[in-house]
Chain A
Amino acid sequence: MAEIKVEGLSKEFGVGEDRVVALENVNLDVGGHVFVSIVGPSGCGKSTLLNILSGIETPSSGKVTITQDNHDAEPGYVFQAARLLPWRSVMDNLLFVQKDRSDETKARCQKYLEMVQLGDKVDKYPGELSGGMQQRVGIARAFSIEPDVLFMDEPFSHLDAITARSLRRELHEMWSQTKKTVLFVTHDVGEAVELSNRILVFAKGGKLEDDLQIDLPFPRDPAEDAVAVAKAQVLRKFEELDLIAS
């Protein structure tokens, strides 16, 4: 079982007057088959936390351990923009992040492309796909390495509402089937409520302000009363924490 442990994590950028605190003394424990959303206003350090967890950035202080059954866990990452190699086909984009190009690996990549409904687009280049399709490839790429934990940084924020909704359903389906630990950054409270078991609320200055449990059965339809009520409760929490600009 994957476990993410964050202890006393801080991150600062710049020095002197230009010093900006992105994260301040964050403590976190996430593990098992959970879908955890990180929400908060712009500049609250959501993406910085994900970048540190995935090794793109280093912390100023504190400790991060990501383990799978007491071994180092392998993370997968889905970015805000798909970040595909435009000069490689869809299949080659998935193979690029694999450790080998064996038939078994190719079959695994094909399986995840089929899960995101792109099984017939393996030879296409990213430029020949729509924005939604490109993001699907990004999701399939992250799942194709069969990571222990999955980090997702506002993956649907560039997409139109209809495409984003269908991708959320696919993502939920894949999460249910693969039993991954997912850490999902979003600024959309509705999205967080629809997908997550837990919502971590960050405030400006990079402080973890609250840790909310969403105990509603999946799949969740945003039109359902219970989901709408949960969303309203989270937004009320935002107001209590003074996170909504007046």
Chain B
Amino acid sequence: MATVVTTAPSPGRGLPGWVKSPKFARILFPFVVLGIWYFIYYTLDSRIFPAPQTVAVFMWEEITLTSGVRYSSAAENIYVQFGITLMRLTIGFFIALILGTIIGLAVGISKKVDAFFHDWVMGVLAMPALVYALFLGLALGFGNLGPILAVVIAGTPFVIINIREGVRNTPKELIDMARSFEVPQNKITRHVLLPSLMPFFFAAIRYAYAVGWKGLVITEVFASDRGMGWTIKFWYDAHRAHGVIGYAIFFIIFALALEKLVFDPLADRAFKWRPKMDAVQMAEGDFGGVQREGFLLIEDQEIEEGVDTTVAKGGNF
């Protein structure tokens, strides 16, 4: 008689499935943060560190315009401040995207152009945002130009690097295939080259946005008389930690909303061709030599209820 040497694991043991799910982990995170926050609040001087409810009340009053605070005649409440920052971010972001794409394509195609830009790109990447924030304030005063340029300076190198790697990772096998079928060059550009650049372009967008945002806020702190960065400094000068933390949370909420409502749907649309993890044979994962990963781009597939989202990561900055 045969001896049974293995058995299927019994489903009843250990933690329930929903506890082990990524969704639960995601929901758990804010509660853990809240727990730590309360712990610090009760162990530190409450005048230094505000209670979560104090911050929540502050944020509510800011949103409903019931706090009674008028920041200035030009930008009197959160919506105007936020609008100013968003306008600066949007303009700077698109300039960085256009400029970075043009330079990135040139750098990817030509080694000479790459040699010309290489040290400058690395130099700007290594430069702390504080340096150009202070310089832009000194050089351009407190207008819109300084903060917009800060976004351009912060974002452009990331766009250049990602686009350059995209160009260098163009799928040669697919181009050879197209040429052997005598497909015209403009069709190869539209159907092979541009789609193969898309993952790199999306990484560029996400990073230009993230670092542009950080550069912008620091510049607004030092070189602006309005905007979200300036508002944080306002609460800092007033020695009101709940104001600083409240505005930091506004930032986080905005960043998450933009990610979920804009970037994720855009990426889902652009990458709907990517196989779902439960589809046939993920094991093979080879589309005839298409290289999908670049120097500064690591793709990570995350499974959640059959939906995979693509997280692009950048290098050190």
Contact in complex: B179, A55 (CB < 8 Å): yes
Contact in complex: A79, B273 (CB < 8 Å): no
A200 close to B (CB within 8 Å):
no
Contact in complex: A81, B289 (CB < 8 Å): yes
- Bound state CA distance, A84 and B156, in angstroms? 33
Contact in complex: A127, B288 (CB < 8 Å): no
Question: Can you name the residue of chain A whose Cβ is closest to the Cβ of B272?
Answer: A125
Asked if A81 meets B286 with Cβ closer than 8 Å, knowing A55-B180, A87-B195, A88-B273, the reply is: yes
Contact in complex: B284, A131 (CB < 8 Å): yes
Asked if A85 meets B286 with Cβ closer than 8 Å, knowing A125-B275, A127-B279, A129-B280, the reply is: no
Question: Can you name the residue of chain A whose Cβ is closest to the Cβ of B281?
Answer: A130
A-side contacts of B173, CB under 8 Å:
79, 81, 83
Number of interface residues of A (CB under 8 A): 30
Q: Give chain B's interface residue range (CB within 8 Å of chain A).
A: 20 to 34
Q: Type the 1/0 row for A80-108, where 1 means its CB is closer than 8 Å to any CB of B.
A: 01111111110000001100000000000
Give the distance to chain B from A54, nearest Cβ to Cβ, in Å. Answer: 5
Contact in complex: A83, B289 (CB < 8 Å): yes
A140 close to B (CB within 8 Å):
no
Question: Can you name the residue of chain B whose Cβ is closest to the Cβ of A82?
Answer: B288
Contact in complex: B288, A84 (CB < 8 Å): yes
- Bound state CA distance, A76 and B290, in angstroms? 21
B-side contacts of A54, CB under 8 Å:
180
A-side contacts of B271, CB under 8 Å:
87
A126 close to B (CB within 8 Å):
yes
A-side contacts of B290, CB under 8 Å:
86
Q: Type the 1/0 row for B141-178, where 1 means its CB is closer than 8 Å to any CB of A.
A: 00000000000000000000000000000000110111
B-side contacts of A76, CB under 8 Å:
181
Give the distance to chain A from B99, nearest Cβ to Cβ, in Å. Answer: 26
Contact in complex: A127, B289 (CB < 8 Å): no
- Bound state CA distance, A219 and B236, in angstroms? 85
Contact in complex: B180, A56 (CB < 8 Å): yes
A145 close to B (CB within 8 Å):
yes
Asked if A75 meets B183 with Cβ closer than 8 Å, knowing A127-B274, A130-B280, the reply is: no
A77 close to B (CB within 8 Å):
yes
Contact in complex: B279, A77 (CB < 8 Å): no
Give the distance to chain A from B266, nearest Cβ to Cβ, in Å. Answer: 15
- Bound state CA distance, A129 and B289, in angstroms? 16
Give the distance to chain B from A78, nearest Cβ to Cβ, in Å. Answer: 10
7 pairs, A vs B, C-beta closer than 8 Å: A74-B182, A77-B177, A79-B177, A83-B287, A96-B191, A127-B273, A131-B281
Residues of B at the A interface (CB closer than 8 Å) are: 173-174, 176-183, 187, 191-192, 195, 198, 271-276, 279-281, 284-290
Residues of A at the B interface (CB closer than 8 Å) are: 54-56, 74-77, 79, 81-89, 96-97, 125-131, 133-134, 141, 145
> Besides the contacts A126-B273, A130-B280, what 12 more A-B pairs have beta carbons closer than 8 Å?
A75-B180, A76-B181, A81-B288, A83-B289, A84-B287, A85-B192, A86-B290, A96-B178, A97-B178, A97-B183, A127-B275, A131-B281
